Chains A and B, each alone.
Chain A
Amino acid sequence: QQQVKQSPQSLIVQKGGISIINCAYENTAFDYFPWYQQFPGKGPALLIAIRPDVSEKKEGRFTISFNKSAKQFSLHIMDSQPGDSATYFCAASIDTGNQFYFGTGTSLTVIP
């Protein structure tokens, strides 16, 4: 049973465009929602994370939007660049130091 559902599976965006990746969860005990970026041959790297007490968090070109009532959260990448081409994973955990439940990933390609 997939604890965190992620869509789309793949995404192609023009340079300068906005990339949007969505995730949904069922377990209301989750209280920490990070996004990870993974390049081929590398481990995932933490990009940005949010707690459910805020509806939005922005760091540079990356924004997480969080809808607690809908149990959904999304990653927005503004002004997408070819260097952003990677696989993105959403995740959720109960508290920050415990196991993460990852989504299935979104392969993002930014076309120059």
Chain B
Amino acid sequence: DTGVSQDPRHKITKRGQNVTFRCDPISEHNRLYWYRQTLGQGPEFLTYFQNEAQLEKSRLLSDRFSAERPKGSFSTLEIQRTEQGDSAMYLCASSFSTGQYGYTFGSGTRLTVV
């Protein structure tokens, strides 16, 4: 297991298009988190899953955003009708449910909406 894997690393899309990102967590971790990071800022929480259940969603996660984690393994984050303000780095992280040892982040997917 080489850590948290995110795909794609970079995505350029036209405004109004839909995009989907994938995250593969560390296999032993049952929690999975999505964060968004804009330039010069710290990561901002979007949502997290424990196994397949989505337990919490930030108000940042508008109706255009949806996240899933079928079977409690990988997760997808979809953004519909992208806007220029969605341009950011989307980070996935995973952890044990106790949070012991902290999160392990992936390298992120950088989204650019043109």
Contact = CB atoms under 8 A, between A and B. Distances in A.
Interface string B78-114: 0000000000000101011111111111111000000
A34 B4 contact: no
Contacts of A45: 105
A34 B102 contact: yes
A96 B98 contact: yes
Interface residues of B, number: 28
A97 B31 CA distance: 8
B40 A43 contact: no
A104 B108 contact: no
Interface string A83-101: 0000001010101111111
Interface of B: 4, 31, 33, 40-45, 48, 56, 58, 91, 93, 95-108
Given A46-B103, A97-B96, A100-B45, 9 more contacts: A6-B42, A42-B108, A46-B101, A49-B102, A96-B102, A97-B31, A99-B48, A102-B43, A102-B44
